[in-house]
């Protein structure tokens, strides 16, 4: 049986930070757009336009990633008539279409909310773990999670069907109609043209706060000091790898015994130093560029023997921005060329990769951070460092502030056993009474988002949004007036221990 493991391939100019990285130096230069202040979102005024009403629902969730799918499934389970609008034809967002796997742990005990526990069970039920003989098939939550991305999309689709959620695949949000402090409708582009979705509550889980921006909610983007967003990556998979042979290669050439000894779901960064010269030799020979070796990493994938997920290439942050349309688009072509060079280099120089080839390219650019809303509560690094708890908390995490590229004085990790909580008010906004925001675009500073952006936390935020939306509708309360603590304990997905 082939072992599952990760190859900590390379690092350059990154400081090791307790298993995570932070760039050592603030880089000069400018991203190709105005820095700092959020650029206004171009809007078309549809309020006087006759558009067909596609759906009239209780809850409209836009974006079917980790956060949005959780929100829709839970709202549906709680009896709300729910639609989930997704521009792709598979759910999961970055966690499936962005090839971002495995899932990171929260490092906080007791962080698994009921939705995550349920998802864990369903994924184990797919028979993936027995197939690979993995003893600890932790999927999500407190432990780092290995999963098969395609099974995750199937599972999400099934969960939506069970919860009677209407999924509107292949539909892109293109606008919103706001009336009297509420979103009345969102406008979607489908194969049939433009259409309206009317709802009582809207949940923005687009990752880019797009619905919020269309509705005029204040947003932020990038680091406070530089205005630069976190760097993006364009991830890919390679198949046909003799994983054991590759593992031996790293063990023998670089004395990397560490990852061999770890359980299959574990991965680590600490030994990268040892592989640095190896990749630099590729730059010297002209096979690779300096950009190509900025950040290289690979993980085995559960359910896909002989295939590895490449957490690279990282797109040069001074050249590409996740909040500029042309730049984002150009980064795809640039990233594809980087992928080809890296893959060729792996095949030529890493034993075990001789017959390997690229077998999948992400269909969603790996955007770590773009726009974040400024909600009723605005999370900051202080919440993290003070391990702040809230009576109205919806989940907990201790995942570090994981910033690529920008140097900030944020290297301290929480004490073992400490965690901070995310308050309900970080999911609602002052300006609109029926809008909720969940996932990586929830309300918080650049540094705060660098911690709460990981998949399990996005899920728990989405779950809470789904519960609150259904509860608010049932009780005739506006979501931004609701207090999470007023929902009976047994109906909440998370109750703060204070
Ligand atoms: C390179 C990289 C590596 C990472 N590594 C890890 C990791 O190892 N482990 C981990 O746990 N986390 C990791 N993260 C973070 C994590 O994957 C994401 O932050 C998280 O998945 C975000 O979930 P989300 O639901 O908020 O957003 P997304 O997953 O981005 O979902 C947003 C959804 O909205 C849809 N959408 C967007 N706009 C529209 C529109 N106009 N109309 C309709 N639909 C729309 C998208 O198609 C997508 O499905 C990584 C992120 C990146 C980029």
> Quick check: 142 pLDDT over 60?
no
Residue 113 CB partners (closer than 8 Å, separation 6+):
395, 459, 460, 463, 464, 493, 494
Q: What is the pLDDT of residues 151-176, one digit of tens each?
A: 899 999 999 999 999 999 999 999 99
Q: C-alpha distances in angstroms, 327 versus 234, 319, 331, 334, 474?
A: 14, 8, 6, 10, 44
Q: What is the pLDDT of residues 220-262, one digit of tens each?
A: 999 988 888 999 999 999 999 887 788 778 777 877 666 656 5
Q: Over the chain, what is the mean pLDDT?
A: 85
Other beta carbons within 10 Å of 28: 7
**CA pair distance 60, 80, nearest whole angstrom:** 10
Domain boundaries, the chain: 6-25+230-355
**CA pair distance 440, 457, nearest whole angstrom:** 9
Instruction: Give the residues across from 379 on adjacent strands.
Output: 444
**CA pair distance 89, 309, nearest whole angstrom:** 21
Ligand 1 mean position to 120 CA, how many Å? Answer: 19
Is 192 buried (19+), middle (13-18) or exposed (0-12) by CB count in 10 A?
A: exposed
Q: Contact, 183 vs 215, CB < 8 A?
A: yes
Using a 6 Å CB cutoff, which residues line ligand 1? 62-68, 85-88, 93-95, 98, 100, 103-104, 172-173, 205-208, 210, 233, 235, 364, 366-368, 439-440, 453-455, 458
Closest ligand 1 atom to the C-alpha of 314? Answer: 1
Whether pTM > 0.75 for this model: the answer is yes
How close are the terminal C-alpha atoms of the chain, in Å?
46
Confidence bin at 204 (pLDDT 50/70/90): very high
**CA pair distance 128, 396, nearest whole angstrom:** 28
**CA pair distance 373, 208, nearest whole angstrom:** 9
In terms of DSSP bridges, do strands 219-221 and 371-373 run parallel, antiparallel, or are they unpaired? antiparallel
Ligand 1 mean position to 94 CA, how many Å? Answer: 4
| Pairwise pLDDT comparison (347 vs 279), residue with the higher score | 347
What does 85-130 look like in DSSP terms, one character per residue?
E-SSSSSBGGGTTT---SBPP---TT---HHHHHHHHHHHTTTHHH
Q: Which of 291, 287, 309, 290 is nearest to 300 (CA)?
A: 309
Mean pLDDT of 350-377: 97
Task: Give, using CA atoms, the residue closest to atom 26 of ligand 1.
Answer: 439
Q: What pLDDT is stored for residue 268 in this prediction?
A: 40
Task: Give, using CA atoms, the residue closest to atom 13 of ligand 1.
Answer: 454
Is 355 buried (19+), middle (13-18) or exposed (0-12) by CB count in 10 A?
A: exposed
């Amino acid at each position: 049986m082939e072992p599952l493991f990760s190859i900590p391939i390379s690092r350059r100019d990154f400081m090791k930070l307790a298993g995570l990285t932070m760039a050592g130096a603030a880089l000069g230069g400018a991203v190709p757009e105005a820095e700092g202040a959020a650029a206004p979102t171009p809007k078309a005024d549809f309020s006087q336009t006759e558009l067909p009403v596609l759906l009239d629902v209780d809850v409209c969730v836009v974006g079917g990633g980790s956060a949005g799918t959780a929100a829709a499934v839970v709202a549906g389970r709680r009896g709300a008539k729910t639609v989930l609008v997704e521009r792709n034809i598979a759910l999961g967002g970055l966690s499936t279409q962005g090839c971002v796997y495995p899932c990171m742990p929260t490092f906080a005990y007791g962080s698994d909310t009921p939705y995550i526990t349920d998802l864990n069970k369903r994924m184990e039920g797919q028979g993936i773990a027995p197939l690979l003989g993995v003893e600890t098939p932790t999927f999500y939550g407190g432990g780092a999670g290995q999963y098969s991305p395609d099974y995750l999309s199937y599972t999400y689709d099934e969960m939506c069907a069970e919860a009677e959620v209407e999924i509107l695949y292949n539909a892109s949000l293109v606008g919103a109609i706001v009336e009297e402090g509420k979103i009345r409708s969102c406008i979607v582009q489908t194969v049939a043209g433009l259409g309206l979705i009317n709802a009582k509550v809207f949940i923005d889980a687009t990752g880019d706060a797009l619905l919020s921006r269309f509705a005029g909610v204040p947003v932020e983007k990038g680091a406070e000091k530089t205005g630069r967003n976190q760097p993006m990556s364009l991830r890919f998979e390679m198949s046909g790898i003799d994983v054991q042979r590759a593992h031996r290669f790293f063990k023998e050439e670089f004395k990397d015994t560490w990852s061999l000894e770890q359980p299959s779901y574990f991965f680590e960064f600490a030994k990268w130093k040892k592989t640095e010269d190896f990749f630099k030799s590729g730059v010297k020979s002209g096979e690779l560029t300096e950009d190509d070796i900025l950040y290289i990493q690979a993980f085995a994938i559960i359910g896909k023997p002989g295939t590895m997920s490449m957490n690279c290439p990282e797109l040069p942050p001074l050249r590409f921005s996740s909040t500029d349309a042309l730049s984002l688009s150009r980064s795809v072509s640039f990233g594809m060329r980087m992928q080809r060079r890296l893959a060729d280099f792996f095949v030529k120089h890493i034993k075990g990769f001789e017959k390997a080839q690229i077998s999948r390219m992400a269909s969603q650019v790996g955007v770590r951070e773009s726009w974040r809303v400024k909600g009723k509560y605005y999370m900051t690094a202080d919440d993290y460092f003070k391990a702040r708890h809230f009576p109205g908390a919806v989940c907990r995490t201790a995942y570090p502030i994981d910033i690529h590229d920008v140097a900030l004085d944020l290297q301290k990790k929480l004490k073992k056993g400490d965690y901070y909580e995310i308050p309900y008010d970080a999911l609602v906004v002052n300006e609109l009474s029926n809008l909720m925001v969940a996932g990586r675009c929830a309300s918080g500073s650049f540094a705060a988002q660098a911690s709460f952006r990981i998949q399990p936390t996005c899920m728990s935020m989405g779950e809470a949004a789904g519960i609150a939306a259904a509860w608010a509708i049932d009780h005739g309360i506006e979501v931004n007036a609701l207090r999470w603590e007023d929902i009976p304990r047994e109906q909440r997905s998370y109750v703060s221990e204070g």
